[in-house]
Amino acid sequence: MNGVINLYKEKGMTSFAAVAAVRRLSRIKKVGHTGTLDPEAEGVLPVCIGKATKLVEYIMAGNKVYRAGFRLGKISDTLDAFGEVQDTGKTIPGEELVREKLKEFLGESMQLPPMFSALKINGRRLYDLAREGIEVDREKRKIHVFDIELVSFEEDEGEILLSCSKGTYVRSIIDDLGQKLGCGAIMTSLIREGTGAFSMENAVTLETLEKDGYEKHLIQMDAVLSDYKDITISDRFLKLVVNGVKVKDGRLISSIEEGLYRGYSEKGDLLGIVERKEDFLYLKVNLM
């Protein structure tokens, strides 16, 4: 059984524990998630099973949609409500200024990953180092905020909805917002409403998987790759392509533009992700 389950990870569970639960239910060892959600966060966590684990990086590359709660006038070592929180004592601005400052996050920017994150440096998770009181240098990473909206705001609390590129830390955006407003801010809740083609509307909980069986909710690899155009590899070149050969024969590649494709055999079997480079074509991800 190969495919992806659009899992809704509930609050209080680690992403690792969610994967372990799916592994137990499916009795398949090869299981992996696509992008860690903190234990306090909830929402869409696509879980790949079997050969679909080869698609993790492609699913992770999709844009994310988050709904996040925040509180002004506070700061925290973890940038959220689950660390050591302090009052700043600063004046809380009005809604109009909050909306105005949020607009400054639109577009590309460089973001410094927080110390309390799952990012690894020299083989160690940053949050493990942070818990030991160790702070290390981190490189800023390019992120893109496509849309950001203030959904609600009352007194010192609010909620935002944002669409962003992978690798974006919402806690850091809220912390930066607090700095722009001059009063401090912490994240109080986080829901990932979507990642790439996966959304909350068709996500399932572990409870549902236990009741229905995971097979009922397994999305086939063809469907997961539906954003890619199809190409058919003729029998003449099939063995070469499947064996990982970079085929340069014009009879195969002349009519195919550069890019990634969903490749099939003439029998209709899914081969995997095929890439047409400048002067050759090859099977980039073998799903057979």
**pLDDT reported for residue 42:** 96
**pLDDT reported for residue 135:** 82
**pLDDT reported for residue 123:** 80
**pLDDT reported for residue 157:** 97
- Whole-angstrom distance, CA of residue 152 vs CA of residue 242: 53
Query: Would you call 38 a catalytic residue per the annotation?
Result: yes
The CA-CA-CA angle for residues 106, 155, 178, to 5°, reads 40
- Residue pLDDT tens, the chain, 288 long: 899 999 999 999 999 999 999 999 999 999 998 888 988 999 999 999 999 999 999 988 889 999 999 999 999 999 999 999 999 999 999 999 999 999 999 999 999 888 777 778 878 887 788 787 888 888 899 999 999 999 999 999 999 999 999 999 999 999 999 999 999 999 999 999 999 889 999 999 999 999 999 999 999 999 999 889 999 999 999 999 999 999 999 999 999 999 999 999 999 999 999 999 989 999 999 998
Of the residues 38, 80, 175, 176, which is catalytic?
38
**Which residue matches tokens 């994240």?**
187
> In the chain, what are the domain boundaries?
3-62+197-223, 64-195, 230-286
- Kindly state which CATH superfamily the domain 230-286 is placed in: PUA domain (2.30.130.10)
Q: Within 13 A of 44's CA, how many CA atoms are on the CB side?
A: 23
**pTM attached to this predicted model:** 0.90
DSSP conformation class of 80: B
- Whole-angstrom distance, CA of residue 3 vs CA of residue 1: 7
Fold match between domain 64-195 and domain 230-286? no
Residue among 153, 171, 47 at smallest CA distance from 162? 171
CATH of domain 64-195: 3.30.2350.10
- Label the pairing between strands 42-49 and 185-195: parallel
CATH of domain 3-62+197-223: 3.30.2350.10
